[in-house]
Amino acid sequence: IGSFFQETPVLKNPFLEDALLRGYLRRHLPQGAVLSDLCAFGERVAIEVDKWGRECEVNPPRLVHFDPWGRRVDHIVTSPAWKRMKDLSAQEGLVAIGYERSFGEWSRVYQMSKLYIFSPSAGLYTCPLAMTDGAAKVIQSIGVSWPVDEAFSRLTTRQSERFWTSGQWMTERQGGSDVATGTETVAVSQTDGSYKLHGFKWFTSATDADMTLTLARVQDRTGATTPGSRGLSLFYAEVSRDEDGRLKGIEVQRLKDKLGTRQVPTAELLLDGLPAHRISEEGRGVPCIANMLTITRIHNSISAAAAMRRVVQLARDYATRRTAFGKLLRDHPLHMQTLARMEVETHGAFLLSMDVCRLLGQEESGVATQLDTHLLRLLTPVVKLYTGKQAVAVVSEGLESFGGQGYIEDTGLPGLLRDAQVLSIWEGTTNVLSLDVLRCVARTSGMVLHAYFTHVKSLLAGVSSVSTLAPAVKAVDGALSQLQMFVQEAATREPGYLDLAA
């Protein structure tokens, strides 16, 4: 069979390999501590963590319904690598950094840069981290006090033995986008002021979490509930077991058999008297969980940009090793043009996503202007919907740049594509987010669009050489034309949805 074997693409330190990330940080956050932490973490990702991520994929979670003696246990068995990801996440402060705020308004940029390096090697542990961060944000926004004070300290700790992750149980069978009409779960009040939840949650990811935030309708004395969004309240529940080892008030019906994200246990849950505490005002569940949606949508955008970055990084490395028609791929102009186009998309996605992280950090540190706050509200769904779509296209192109090997399962490359496909579905589909954009345009009487155009103008005013900022300008242009297209489409198809004159 001959002695020739293709060379494997090599994952090098993703921080050192990423000139754009390093340049961005040097401009905005030049503190030595941040750069050296990211450099050390990048080394750890390349040498150690990436292998765990692969292990999470090949050793996916499974559900054990019964113990050997027939007792119901509903135990979700995860791989040792998945558990190591949890410890690592605490130790590296992947959630904590956003709450310690050691770098003031730039803390979110620091945290998200770390997640950006981590994400493609994380075996999708970024999914529970996103929801954990979102839960911490909700608790912080309502005020850290009993019964969620302990939870907050666990969600944001660096001590691995204390660290908790959170779920986000919103979707029910009748509707995931339309939770306002689709939610049937009811909350029955108890004499001590707590509640018991009864219902069925159709998609619950990272179901091995320690706690969750979830929506339900409070029953009045007659057992009646209020329909629609105004009937929904937000609840905090711990996932715990009784002395017989059974989950308290939860039955895991089954784990979903999914196209991708196979590393993550995603379950269907029957809530059968789950003990819970209401943490929003009655009927204010949706606006209260909206804080979680903002955070998880930003995480989603970072993961999308990171998936693009990873495939480009590997494809570039491969181009220096693979020979075709007598020369290395990197010496074929057409191949390099393809890689360059992927690179431009990746630059745009990165810069746009980081800009939203910057705005989030500014808002949380109290230094955001009203314009910044509007911009954050507008750009969060735009960046999520845009990068979610972009990731599928760029990762798909990336696979092709490896030729047939891009299609071979144990190279790890096909998993990147499968996992990219979910980014436009969960946390709000593209069309649902485009309607969210419309809604916030209308509810702010167009102020968010004013903020956007002011921002673009200030960006362009600062461009000394157009070529240096070309990727950012292209991304802004792309987002703007997508936005215009969605606004037009939605206005045509949903004439009654909004008063667009606003």
Burial category of 61 from C-beta neighbours within 10 Å (exposed 0-12, middle 13-18, buried 19 and up): buried
**How far is the CA of 203 from the CAs of 169, 227, 407, in angstroms?**
7, 21, 29
CB of residue 424 to ligand MFK, shortest distance in Å: 11
CB of residue 442 to ligand FAD, shortest distance in Å: 15
Applying CB under 6 A, which part among 162-170, 216-224, 233-241, 451-459 lies near ligand FAD?
Answer: 162-170
C-beta of 21 vs 131, nearer to ligand MFK: 131
For 23-39, the DSSP string reads HHHHHH---HHHHHHHH
CB of residue 391 to ligand FAD, shortest distance in Å: 15
Q: Which amino acid is at 257?
A: D
**Contact flag: residue 502 with ligand MFK (CB under 6 A):** no
**Contact flag: residue 214 with ligand MFK (CB under 6 A):** no
CB of residue 306 to ligand MFK, shortest distance in Å: 9
* Angle at the Cα of 21 from the Cα atoms of 296 and 368, rounded to 5 degrees: 55
**Contact flag: residue 180 with ligand MFK (CB under 6 A):** yes
User: Smallest Cα–Cα separation from 148: which of 72, 213, 245, 218?
Assistant: 213
Applying CB under 6 A, which part among 10-18, 38-46, 299-307, 331-339 lies near ligand MFK?
Answer: 299-307
**Contact flag: residue 142 with ligand MFK (CB under 6 A):** no
Q: Which amino acid is at 177?
A: S
| Nearest-10 Cα torsion for 232, 238, 240, 242 | -70
* Beta strand spans in 219-260 (E): 232-238, 250-255
| Cβ neighbours, 10 Å, residue 46 | 20
**Contact flag: residue 166 with ligand FAD (CB under 6 A):** no
Among 59, 153, 157, 177, binds ligand MFK (CB under 6 A): 177
Site for ligand MFK in 43-72 (CB under 6 A): none
User: Smallest Cα–Cα separation from 93: which of 30, 141, 136, 50?
Assistant: 136
Contacts with 186 (C-beta within 8 Å, 6 or more apart), sequence order: 197, 198, 199, 216, 217, 218, 219, 225
C-beta of 205 vs 401, nearer to ligand FAD: 205
C-beta of 133 vs 317, nearer to ligand FAD: 133
**Contact flag: residue 131 with ligand MFK (CB under 6 A):** yes
Q: Which amino acid is at 488?
A: Q
Site for ligand FAD in 389-428 (CB under 6 A): 422, 425-426, 428
Among 89, 132, 166, 171, binds ligand MFK (CB under 6 A): 171
**Contact flag: residue 290 with ligand MFK (CB under 6 A):** yes
Among 203, 235, 318, 486, binds ligand FAD (CB under 6 A): 203
| Cβ neighbours, 10 Å, residue 303 | 29
Between CA 15 and CA 18 the distance in angstroms is 5
Q: Which amino acid is at 303?
A: S
Among 258, 330, 332, 474, binds ligand FAD (CB under 6 A): 258
| Cβ neighbours, 10 Å, residue 397 | 19
CB of residue 303 to ligand MFK, shortest distance in Å: 4
C-beta of 317 vs 364, nearer to ligand MFK: 364
C-beta of 199 vs 428, nearer to ligand FAD: 428
At 29, give phi and psi (nearest 5°).
-140, 70
Among 94, 179, 354, 472, binds ligand MFK (CB under 6 A): 179
Interface ranges with ligand FAD (CB under 6 A):
168-171, 175-178, 203-205, 258, 261, 266, 422, 425-426, 428-429, 431-432, 435
